[in-house]
Structure 1
Amino acid sequence: MKLNSVASLVAATAGIAQATASPDDSLAIFAKRRTADLAQFPDPTWFSKIDSWLSSQKDDGTWSDVNYLSGCAAQRANWPIQEHWNRLITLGAAWSGANPAVSSSRAKDPKLLAAVQKGLDYWFSHDYTPADCMGDGGDATKGCPCGTPGLWNTNWYDQAILIPQLCSTACLLVKDANLTETQRAGCERIPYRAYALRDGTYGTGGRMTGANMVLVMQNSVTLALFTDNSTILADSMTRAMSVMTFVDTPGQDGIHRDGTFLQHDGILYNGNYGKDLLNAFIQLEGEAIGTSFAANNDTRAAMSTYVKGDEWLIYTDSQTRTEHWDFNAIGRFVSFPTVDLQASADINFNVSKLAAATADFKGSYAVNDTIRRLLSNGTEKLTGNRGFWASDYMVHRRSNFMLTNKMISTRSANSESVNGANPYAYHMGHGTLYSYVKGNEYKDIMGAWDWNLVPGTTTLLNQPKLQASQVKYHGLKDFVGVVSDGTFGAAVEDYIDPLTQNLSYRKSWFYVDEGVIVITTNIKKNTTAGNVPVITVLDNRAADSSRALVKSGFIAQLGEQHLATDTLYYRNNGYLAYDHPFQLTLSQGKRSGNWSEISTSTQGMETVDIFSAYTTIKGDSFTYGFFPSISSLKLLKELANPTWKPINKNGVSGVYGKGRASLSFWPGGAKSVKLDLRELGWSNKAGTLTFTSDQPALYLLSAQKKKDKKSVRLVVTLADPTQKLAVASYSIKISGQRYKVREVDEKSEGHEKRGGGSIGFGVKLPTGGLAGSSVSEEVILELN
């Protein structure tokens, strides 16, 4: 659902936001709004099935076409039995009269209520009894071993979150009906079991954190409204909103100050668990706005930052106009096809409802611009560069492409395999580089693609052996991070294979207008790895009838090809080797795979057209450029006359040109680098810039000539990838020309003259939850 403008949403909610309701009124307002919200829970297509469900429901309240398998034999993820509740909720929503899309003739229809009550009776009479079924079902050493009677699942999530959500929803929709005492008791018992453990543990689920805690509290709010319990309502809202605040411990579950959401000990999960938290916020704040339960400023700050961060992670499929999450941000849910309606299918939150929930977010909390762009479905572009230091992640957007880059460090993890999903995802997040131009590059191919060829990664070919027990790993190094000035950026990853330690390297991504230049250095392979080659995956994506183009011409044949070349061009994406030619292995053609092998999807076998390309690296370093949405002619011009000059010398990596330089000073490497002023674009006269960093760090240098044409406005942006330093210092020196510093930005801790004519600068670095973020300072250089 979309509205014509954000202004209309603000106007629509202005009346309830102006004044805060009294505590007594708040409960009634909340209940009315939540009932209206829950009445829209069913998919609109479900209402057309009501008559069929009424006629096919059996006397015991069940349906023959619903899978009621429970206990140890039940499917752990996406428990099929939830279809029973989906039908009860649909019937209850129609009976309530609170969904305007349903004919009013359905309201208070006794046939609907009778069907709901029969369904409730079935479940409540088959409810489990042992407390251990909450989170330890199937454990032979606990009180709920396999064979224990009742409806339960070995996945704690179903007892703690899923079924309480569905049960409390169905019950609130028919709260005003003449329910039996047994029915009311069941409506209270199931969600209260989860609420009662709020300060304890949920068996194998452990203590609830992040999005999971919010979901438990969200269900508890519905319980409170069903029972008219203002105490539970206040407690649940307080707990939920407290989770929707910033967390500052590296890797901690929750919202970080860079706008990313981490779950399961350091995995980037904006598109799944973060999305769940966002949906909970949309519902809770949309219902609480204008009441005593509305979000305070701590929650507003975190949710505003999170929503603005989310936008960077979202791309649009230009064919379907559907918005999707970056594959780096949905964790194990990359293993589901879009038809399964999991995190890969859509952004799965209602932007119009988000606008209503944030209608009173003003000033720095305002998210109107983000909402406007999201409502445009990609027609209004977000451009620039953003570094997410808490998750070791960078997004680079131009009007015609989007690049996303995920790394791992001692603070962050790559992905996971849980509940039968994502068993082959070891390489995910190990320097992944996805590109989106049309937005369908990776759509529905994971069921058949080669999981050893994750786009952007540098690895040993077909190593290690992929298996579910070897997916989730943290990095082994802390010099991993990002620097961004909002337009350009750089990312670095000091990498050791976390499983085998058979491969190590230092990799930098330097983001420019045309795309990204990737420099990999210090490549070392242990002898235990044998003769297995080191490769960098250029891409692994959906194919069409296009043929790959190299410098010598088109690749005429399908199948696997091996060749050496300086350039590769496929579907408007260009690749350019700088120091040594690509040693390419190309593959284009049909591949088959089974979605049910990598997840709980029932879609089974599929055959899709896939194009993959990787280059074998024979030396200890390699540099290439990736330029999305480029013409083949422009790619050849880049080969003949590169716009950017790579730097790879003595432990310093970087690129420079067009008035800019991006530099990475690696641990143990040189502290200085010299750049030609004319090649840098700072001067028409001969001269050299010597830039010195007193510690390993990342830098962006941006210079613009001022109107007097004698001076240069220089902005230096820096970041500490280790996130451990409190201060940093650097110096600049111009040789071959006379110069002086005329101004220093107020953010500078002052500059000092050093030996040899250099000028040094000291900078205070961010700490706490901002450690690793970028800081900038400005100076004016007058060149003579």
Structure 2
Amino acid sequence: MRSSDASSPATHDASPAAPDFGALRATAMTLLTGGDLDLADPAYERPLAALSERAGTWLAEMVPGLIWPDLPLEGRPGHVTGSYGRLRTIATAWATAGTAQHGDDAVAAKVIEALDLLYERHYNERLPETGNWWFWEIGTPAELSRSCVLLGDRLDAGRLAAYLGAIDRFCPDPDRRAGWPDASESGANRADKAAIVAFRGVAGRSADKLALARDGLSDVRDGGRHSVFGYVDSGDGFHRDGSFIQHAVVAYTGSYGLSLLIAVAECVALLHGSPWQVQDPGQRVVLDAVERSFAPFMHDGLLMDTVRGRATSRQAFSDRVAGHGAIGAVLLLAQSAPEPYRSRFRELAKGWIERGGASCEVPPYLEQASVAETRRAVAVLDDKTIEAAPEPEGHFVFPSMDRVVHRRAGWSVAISMSSHRTAAYEAINGENRHGWYTGDGMTYLYTGDPGHYGQDFWPTVDPYRLPGTTVDPRPRADLDFRVHRPPSPWAGGVVLDGQYGVSAMELIGDGVSLRARKSWFCFDTAVVALGSGITSFDGRAVETVIESRATDQDPHVGDGWIHLPGVAGYVFEGARTLVETRTGRWRDINTGDDTAGAFEPVTRRYVTFWFDHGVNPFDARYAYVLLPNATRGRTRFFRGAQPARVLCNTTALQAVQTRTLFGAVFWTAGTAWIVSVDKPCVLMVRRSSGRLLLAVADPTRTADVLRITLDRSMGGVIRADDTVTVSTGRRPAIVVEVGGSLGRSHSVELSDFGGPRSLRCDR
């Protein structure tokens, strides 16, 4: 559902006077090839050589009448898209100055011959859609529309009309699905189609198509109902809390959200300065999303897997590749964005590029960037007036997609939860076949080895032992066309002063009797994980996994702690440890038509720690502390000093306290420390400098009003959210209107006059 205060879409004249299509094509060519380059600049040697090599490889392997033997076309729309993609690569090389193929008539002829074959047999206006609609309506027309722009006058009028006619058949506008006209496009699919129609409009010199592209982004046709420039309260698109959802219930910032960001950046850049320039004031939704939705999940230039859904199973689309896509889109947006976005985007991109290659002679981004991307990146990297933005530090909660990120200098922890609002996993089109537990509290740790999850992690990790999860590790069948949401409303968290947080989820096993209550308490140097009420009646052992890390380092096992060099320290009692070499294949987890992994086996060495709760556990529990980047000495010290003390770990209450912070998950009404609540909630308190700062959230979204009572006198109210009312005195009462707040945090700061009280944990 789109929010009622979304910006109204701008309307425009569909046929501006005297459009300059030549200027538009020049803009499109710069976007696709980099435009006029200084070929003497050594920065372009690498991308030009890489493009030449790729194009040369595809040219050498072409077979007349067949095109590429490894992509059989009959009945395989994914291979048709793949073939168009290779032809676009060759056409790009042909159109780019400085490549081995530039301006070669024989190269252009081979590309056109192949395009003719594809049009005549596999992609024309007379064919019905078969298989996955996406290949017909987005995948193939995206490649073909850009190839038509690249080839330009090399396509005679008849050919161009034929190719564009095929595009018009399957992607006539961004608004509707050609194979299902009653379905209105939304989110990334709408943005992708707008970009296709825009490039098709340039290739065909069509004012009407360019207007459709621009207006499609705003959904002028339906009054902005599915505009990509508006917030949504449910379903596909950007939510106010920074979440991005696609397929109604899947956290997809790093996949579909990334596609939307790239497509919007292309459309805005292509149409900028033309009669069809995007002028919708709602553009700020996408511009704001760069920092609100994407930056928290960017770690040293990569885009975290916690928000990439089934895309994690794509061998060629690692977290690093996704991060590079985000960097490229942000740099492109910066070209036409107003201030302060323009400067901020360049600072962010510069920081991501530099940190992602801090130990490399050439940053990985420039190793993989296209010629056009290199041109934009080098301009920013060489500009000494642009300061690289540091990584954000803080605690980030995304209630609408059940995700949490906790960040400090040098490390990040991300937690993937699920509920009846957010899918635990999605497995479609042969992808994510072993993703059974990725939404069951999987905990991602990023430290000095940011490429950990992108280096063959997914085909080699034990999918029954993902870090942070509590599982019944029964053998399971490969997933296929399944989206699973557990029936519980309990998932979410609270953020205190933007720096600390507590999160929790109620685990309801997928197809088993397993139940558990899981929580995470995030502090400056530690994350404390608690589990309670772990119960199962299926006759099998249940496990909670602390860590499953691919590393060549050997763990040092102490008394109640383990240190893993270069990764972290871990503090716990009674866990088991395993060091093993694991082998898998990308093809085992992805058999998609256009994303299938390789059959060749890959191997990594894993260190795993886990709790064995035994067969048919009843009300079992666990507690452990994660100390990212900790030394062995600090891990040992933490074990002895216990600066983070577990006050309670039951099915009613989970609570942890440090010297200045107190966090609690009230699964029911109850009391802990000096705090009593009348309904379930997640709460965090900080005491410092004579003040008490309290934040609370209702992850279940079931309460309208929450009442908190403090068992000590307080002074006056220093500040409070407009949803918070305070009655001070000997037993201050804090009334919070949580209804309709969609799981967000509410805070209040009070003068702290009262003396200390003893700690207690009441059910």
1:384 paired to 2:394: yes
**Aligned counterpart for 2:549 among listed residues 538, 541, 548:** 541
> Where does residue 428 of structure 2 map in the other structure?
418
> Where does residue 217 of structure 1 map in the other structure?
194
CA contact (8 A) 1:156 1:204 kept: no
> Where does residue 119 of structure 2 map in the other structure?
124
**Aligned counterpart for 2:451 among listed residues 433, 440, 447:** 440
- C-alpha deviation, 1:93, in angstroms: 3.3
SS of 1:762 mapped into structure 2: strand
Larger radius of gyration: 1
Partners of 1:746 and 1:315 in 2: how far apart?
A: 33
> Where does residue 591 of structure 1 map in the other structure?
582
TM-score with structure 2 length normalisation?
0.81
Partners of 2:416 and 2:48 in 1: how far apart?
A: 34
SS of 1:630 mapped into structure 2: coil
Partners of 1:508 and 1:407 in 2: how far apart?
A: 10
CA spacing shift, 1:131–1:717, aligned 2, 3 Å: farther
Partners of 1:593 and 1:54 in 2: how far apart?
A: 32
- C-alpha deviation, 1:376, in angstroms: 2.8
CA spacing shift, 1:164–1:672, aligned 2, 3 Å: same
CA contact (8 A) 1:253 1:261 kept: yes
Superposed CA offset, 1:453-512 (max 9, x none): 11110112x226242148531121112111113111111102211322x11111111101
CA contact (8 A) 2:173 2:213 kept: no
- C-alpha deviation, 1:295, in angstroms: 4.6
Partners of 1:23 and 1:698 in 2: how far apart?
A: 59
Partners of 2:19 and 2:109 in 1: how far apart?
A: 32
CA spacing shift, 1:29–1:415, aligned 2, 3 Å: farther
- C-alpha deviation, 1:542, in angstroms: 0.8
CA spacing shift, 1:752–1:196, aligned 2, 3 Å: same
CA contact (8 A) 1:194 1:216 kept: no
CA spacing shift, 1:766–1:234, aligned 2, 3 Å: farther
1:742 paired to 2:716: yes
Question: What pairs with 1:76-91 in structure 2 (closer than 5 Å)?
Answer: 79-82=78-81, 84-91=83-90
Partners of 1:129 and 1:349 in 2: how far apart?
A: 30
CA spacing shift, 1:764–1:52, aligned 2, 3 Å: closer
Amino acid of the residue matched to residue 751 of structure 1?
V
CA contact (8 A) 2:290 2:330 kept: no
Partners of 2:97 and 2:425 in 1: how far apart?
A: 41
Partners of 2:494 and 2:148 in 1: how far apart?
A: 50
> Where does residue 468 of structure 2 map in the other structure?
456
**Aligned counterpart for 1:483 among listed residues 484, 494, 518:** 494
**Aligned counterpart for 1:516 among listed residues 523, 527, 545:** 527
CA contact (8 A) 2:197 2:212 kept: no
CA spacing shift, 1:633–1:212, aligned 2, 3 Å: same
1:623 paired to 2:623: yes
Amino acid of the residue matched to residue 747 of structure 2?
S
SS of 1:382 mapped into structure 2: coil
CA spacing shift, 1:595–1:426, aligned 2, 3 Å: same
Amino acid of the residue matched to residue 608 of structure 2?
S
Partners of 2:180 and 2:71 in 1: how far apart?
A: 23
> Where does residue 678 of structure 2 map in the other structure?
694
CA contact (8 A) 1:516 1:627 kept: yes
SS of 1:212 mapped into structure 2: helix
CA spacing shift, 1:743–1:365, aligned 2, 3 Å: farther
Amino acid of the residue matched to residue 555 of structure 2?
A
Partners of 1:313 and 1:170 in 2: how far apart?
A: 33
- C-alpha deviation, 1:208, in angstroms: 3.3
> Where does residue 678 of structure 1 map in the other structure?
none
> Where does residue 373 of structure 2 map in the other structure?
none
> Where does residue 165 of structure 2 map in the other structure?
189
> Where does residue 69 of structure 1 map in the other structure?
72
Partners of 1:622 and 1:204 in 2: how far apart?
A: 50
> Where does residue 775 of structure 1 map in the other structure?
746
CA contact (8 A) 2:460 2:582 kept: yes
CA contact (8 A) 2:16 2:207 kept: no
Amino acid of the residue matched to residue 571 of structure 2?
L
- C-alpha deviation, 1:414, in angstroms: 1.8
CA contact (8 A) 1:543 1:589 kept: no
> Where does residue 272 of structure 2 map in the other structure?
289
Amino acid of the residue matched to residue 89 of structure 1?
R
- C-alpha deviation, 1:203, in angstroms: 4.4
Amino acid of the residue matched to residue 518 of structure 2?
K
> Where does residue 660 of structure 2 map in the other structure?
659
1:498 paired to 2:499: no
1:732 paired to 2:710: yes
Partners of 1:692 and 1:429 in 2: how far apart?
A: 31
SS of 1:238 mapped into structure 2: helix
Superposed CA offset, 1:686-732 (max 9, x none): xxxx2122221111211211xxxxxx121111111123444433121
> Where does residue 105 of structure 2 map in the other structure?
110
SS of 1:70 mapped into structure 2: coil
Partners of 2:342 and 2:522 in 1: how far apart?
A: 29
Question: What pairs with 1:112-511 in structure 2 (closer than 5 Å)?
Answer: 112-128=107-123, 133-134=128-129, 137=130, 154-177=131-154, 179-181=156-158, 183-196=159-172, 199-203=175-179, 208-242=185-219, 243-250=227-234, 252-291=235-274, 292-316=276-300, 323-337=301-315, 340-341=316-317, 345-349=321-325, 351=327, 354-359=330-335, 360-363=337-340, 367-368=344-345, 369-378=347-356, 380-437=390-447, 438-442=449-453, 443-460=455-472, 462-463=473-474, 465-469=476-480, 472-485=483-496, 486-500=498-512, 502-511=513-522
SS of 1:416 mapped into structure 2: strand
Amino acid of the residue matched to residue 653 of structure 2?
V
- C-alpha deviation, 1:81, in angstroms: 4.4
> Where does residue 16 of structure 1 map in the other structure?
none
- C-alpha deviation, 1:157, in angstroms: 1.6
Unaligned segments of structure 2, at least 5 residues: 1-14, 36-46, 220-226, 359-389, 591-595, 756-763
Amino acid of the residue matched to residue 728 of structure 1?
L
Superposed CA offset, 1:275-331 (max 9, x none): 111111221122233444225231222332244421211223xxxxxx322221221
Superposed CA offset, 1:148-188 (max 9, x none): xxxxxx2222111111111111111222335141x122221
SS of 1:475 mapped into structure 2: coil
- C-alpha deviation, 1:761, in angstroms: 1.8
Partners of 1:410 and 1:127 in 2: how far apart?
A: 41
Amino acid of the residue matched to residue 514 of structure 1?
T
SS of 2:171 mapped into structure 1: helix
1:605 paired to 2:601: yes
CA spacing shift, 1:94–1:673, aligned 2, 3 Å: closer
Amino acid of the residue matched to residue 583 of structure 2?
S
- C-alpha deviation, 1:219, in angstroms: 0.8
Partners of 1:22 and 1:129 in 2: how far apart?
A: 30
Superposed CA offset, 1:392-441 (max 9, x none): 11001111211110100110002222222221211111111111112133
Superposed CA offset, 1:524-557 (max 9, x none): 223xx01x2221111112120x3222225xxxxx
> Where does residue 636 of structure 1 map in the other structure?
636
Partners of 1:101 and 1:692 in 2: how far apart?
A: 70
Q: How much identity, in percent, do the aligned residues show? A: 19
CA spacing shift, 1:434–1:350, aligned 2, 3 Å: closer
CA contact (8 A) 1:66 1:84 kept: no
CA spacing shift, 1:446–1:662, aligned 2, 3 Å: same
Partners of 1:542 and 1:53 in 2: how far apart?
A: 35
